[in-house]
Each structure stands twice: as C-alpha cells, then as structure tokens.
Amino acid sequence: MKIIYLLLGGLLSLISCGNHNNPTAPEDNNNSMYFPSNIDTNWATIPINQLNWNVNAIQDLKNYLAEKNTKSFIMLVDGKIAMEEYFDGQTKIDDWEWNSAGKSIISTLIGIAQQEHILNINDKVSDYLGKGWTNMPIEKENLITIKNLLTMTSGIDDTKQLMIKSNLNYVADAGNRWAYSNVFQKLIDVISKATNEDYETYFGNKLKNKIGMDGYWNFGLIFTIYHSTARSMARFGLLALNIGKWQNEQIIDKDYFTESINSSQNINPSYGYLWWLNGKSKYMVPADQTVYDGYLIPNAPYDMFAAMGANDQRLYIVPSKKLVIVRMGNAANPSNPKFAVSGFDNELWAKINKIIN
C-alpha cells in the first residue's frame, strides 16, 4: 500500500510540473516583493552574489548587448534591480520609444475601464465609435468587438498602416483570422469615448501616476508610440509581474489581467490581449500568415509573457523566477528585423540563461 501511495504521489507531481498553461503571480512570496517609491532615485538593488547567479557570464551578456545596439538593459528580481546597464550615451533619465510594446499599456487601460463598468470587452466597437467607423459592410463591422481589437482578430485588412476609414477594409469575419494590425489604435478612441476623458488624462490618473511612471505619448500621423525611461518600462513590468497589483492596490482587475496574458484565441495561441506569450505549441508573427510550430522564444522560460515593439524594444516578465527584464535600443539585427524569427530574442535568452540558471 505504501508503494502505491508513493507512485500516486509521484504521478501527481509530474502532472503538476507539466501544467504550463496559466502564468500566475508569485503571490506566495508577495510579502518579499519590493516596489519603488514614485521618486525612484533610491530604487533598491540586490547584489548578484545573493542570487546564486553565474557572475562569470555577465560580461559576455554586456558585450552582446553593446554589439546588438542596445541603449538600456534592466533586470529586476523581486522588484529590486539586479542589473542596470546603459550604452551608447543613454542614461537612466533619457527617454526611448516603446513602439508596439506600448500596446500592452492600452490593454491594461481597457481592463481598468471594464472594472469601472465603463465598457465591456464583448461590446461592439461601433457602440463607442458609431456606425460606419470602418469601410466594411455594416453587418461585418457589427461583428467586431473590443475583444477582437485586443486579440488582433478584427478581420480588417492588415496591409494598411494609416488608420483612416478608407483603409479599414474587410478581409474576414471577426474572430476568424489573426493578423497583427495598427487597428488596435482604435482602442484609444474607444477609451476616450467610453470614459468621456482625454486618453492621456485617463492613462495618467488610472495607471501612470499610480505606479510612478514618467513619459509621454507621441500621436503621429500613422503610429501612436509611448516614450519613457527604461525604469518606467520596468515599473510597468513589475505591475504585470504582480498581476496588476502595486503595493497594496489592485490597480487592474486580476481576472482580466490573467485573461490578458493567456491565449486569447486558437489561431495564434502565443497572443493574449496585446501581450505576447511563450510556452505555446505554435505562434504567428506580424505581417505573416505563416503558423510556426513551437515556442515563440525557445530559450526563454515557458511562462514568460512579453510586451514587444519594433527595433527590439522588449519587456519580458517571468513569474516563475519573479523576474522582469527591459531591453531598449535600436534594432539588434538591422539586416533582419523580422520579429521573433530574427534570432535576437533567442540569442539574448541564451546569454541570460547562462547567468540566471
């Protein structure tokens, strides 16, 4: 009988270890989590020799970062700074562009608006932007929900970057096609209409000021891009690591945030609500309808999720290691800028693994 119990125990342990589906916050260690004050000049650090990391591999990582056109690089453990490096004249007070990594901020604001009962992600976009906001037949436009914009499944033509009505053409019914598109920008208009507030004001009051971020939005003709210091990106990553909780305040509904960092549809399971997800069986990338088998970043931990932008702006969050990593800079491989399959992320994680593992 004792042997049977031991066998059952081992089986249950294996099943538990194999459950790689749902990233969760390190809540059992939440009391040890550090949050910087809104004035972060004294942001706490943690000596690398306390982490049992391989210090001999750190210089190799720094050399790689410099070689790959990095401007800023930060690693947080338990919220404390374990590494903070700047290159090519960049400093901790200099802003840099997030590019599409800023999409994850917009996802977070949608969740905050939903928890305030201002909107629901299952609402039609036309409930906020009015009928005829696209160039699609009305019956097709009416299929598009806020959730479709969050998950890149609107069915709108993804080949046009300028988000004017004449470019918002029908390709597929909403929910039937995954295609990375600039149409996510319409969520900014949804937030403004739903809250009856200027978008930046709502962002400042509900998120930016609460976690001590700096920075500003640049609303260009084609692109809407957030700019901030690397430390501000790290703050947002720390909020994400703790599933929307900052110190003692649950800034964004935990259930919504958990949904946002898990597969949002089956077409591209490596995509949540404007967040990229590792550890899934397949993935797709921007401007490409190819479905690739395997993890988005094979060398990265299975439970990593990330905000990712053009020219390799990266915010990696790893719940199992209570780790936040920021990389800002110019494109690592200018001759091969293709997202995810360029090799940069995988090479970078190979260097990181030599340190943290």
Task: For residues 276 and 300, give the distance between their C-alpha atoms in angstroms, rounded to a whole number.
Answer: 12
Task: For residues 8 and 15, give the distance between their C-alpha atoms in angstroms, rounded to a whole number.
Answer: 11
Q: Is this model's pTM higher than 0.85 or not?
A: yes
pLDDT digits (tens, 9 = 90+) for 113-170: 999 999 999 999 999 999 999 999 999 999 999 999 999 999 999 999 999 999 999 9
53, two tokens: 């990391």
Q: What is the DSSP letter of 289?
A: -
Report yes or no: 326 and 74 within 8 Å, Cβ to Cβ: yes
76, two tokens: 């947080």
Task: Quickly list H helices, 68-145.
Answer: 103-115, 126-129, 138-141
pLDDT digits (tens, 9 = 90+) for 163-209: 999 999 999 999 999 999 999 999 999 999 999 999 999 999 999 99
19 SS3 class: coil
pLDDT digits (tens, 9 = 90+) for 234-244: 999 999 999 99
Task: For residues 177 and 249, give the distance between their C-alpha atoms in angstroms, rounded to a whole number.
Answer: 37
User: Among residues of the chain, what percentage have pLDDT more than 90?
Assistant: 85
Nearest residue to 101 (alpha-carbon basis) of 337, 304, 309, 324: 309
